[in-house]
Amino acid sequence: MESLHQDDDKRALRRSLRRQRQALSQHEQRLAAQRLCQQLKTLPEIRRARRISLYLPVNGEIDPMTLLPWLRKRKVEVYLPVLRPFSANALWFVAYHSGTPMVKNRFGIWEPDLRFGAQRRNRLPAWALDTLIVPLVGFDNSANRMGMGGGFYDRSLAFMHRPGPAPTLIGVAHACQQVASLPVEPWDVPLQVVVSDQGYVRRQ
């Protein structure tokens, strides 16, 4: 019974945090994205990355794409997550340029169109990236992450529970998405740091 209550609590918290970020005006969203970009530029994990994945924001998610011009100037290869076809809630990462053909996936989110052969050749598994910028619904003072509930990043990054090459994981969010503590599940993949428009918290 206790786990049922925990699930209900988690769902309620997820709903509440999503409502908070969706309540932000377009002006507040733009300002938060610019401030996030300034914070990200100071991180050594970002400054040394040669291959990095961003994401296109939906439903009030903070926008990391403001970092794109700065990354391009530094000759960093930028990737976007794509739903893996015929796979249960897992992601590939596909190279992204200004001319990349895009298509909406089944959730209505824009992603590089894998029907183009060049796109398929430009895809990488997560372990081949240096740094992943990961969206989230909530985070806590220890850099634990609450995702959307679909498990896409947890499944795609499950290899990080085993030895081997692994990217740096950086969560990004609005400051209003921070809570004191979140429940941690065994399958959760830990982030190294969570960055918001007002600062960051590192995993201890």
| Residue type for position 183 | P
Average pLDDT over residues 140-168: 86
Average pLDDT over residues 148-164: 83
Q: Does the annotation place 136 within a ligand binding site?
A: no
Q: Does the annotation place 4 within a ligand binding site?
A: no
Domains parsed from the chain with CATH numbers:
2-202 (3.40.50.10420)
| Residue type for position 155 | R
Give me the sign of the Cα torsion angle 66, 43, 194, 187. Answer: positive
Q: Does the annotation place 11 within a ligand binding site?
A: yes
Q: Does the annotation place 14 within a ligand binding site?
A: yes
The helix or strand, by DSSP H or E, that contains position 34, with its residue range, turns out to be helix 26-41
pTM, rounded to two decimals: 0.88
Q: Does the annotation place 10 within a ligand binding site?
A: yes
Q: Does the annotation place 153 within a ligand binding site?
A: yes
Q: Does the annotation place 74 within a ligand binding site?
A: no
Q: Does the annotation place 148 within a ligand binding site?
A: yes
Q: How confident is the model at residue 6 (pLDDT cuts 50, 70, 90)?
A: low
Q: Does the annotation place 19 within a ligand binding site?
A: no
The helix or strand, by DSSP H or E, that contains position 170, with its residue range, turns out to be strand 168-173
Average pLDDT over residues 110-127: 80
Q: What angle do CA 16, 10, 185 make, to 5 degrees?
A: 140
Q: Does the annotation place 162 within a ligand binding site?
A: no
Q: Which residues of 123-158 are buried (b: 16+ CB within 10 A; e: fewer)?
A: beebeebbbbbbbbbbbbebbbbbbbeebbbbbbbe
Closest CA to 53 of 44, 42, 64: 64
Q: Does the annotation place 54 within a ligand binding site?
A: no
Give Cα 58 to chain centroid, integer Å: 11
- Considering the chain, what is the average pLDDT of its residues? 88
Checking DSSP bridges between strand 77-83 and strand 91-95, what pairing results, if any?
antiparallel
Q: Does the annotation place 65 within a ligand binding site?
A: no
Checking DSSP bridges between strand 102-104 and strand 110-112, what pairing results, if any?
antiparallel
User: Mean pLDDT lowest for which of 70-74, 84-88, 137-141?
Assistant: 84-88
Q: Does the annotation place 117 within a ligand binding site?
A: no
- Confirm if 36 and 172 have CB atoms less than 8 A apart: yes
Residues ≥6 apart with Cβ < 8 Å to 99: none
Summarize pLDDT for 90-100 with one digit per residue, the tens: 798 999 988 89
Q: Does the annotation place 12 within a ligand binding site?
A: yes
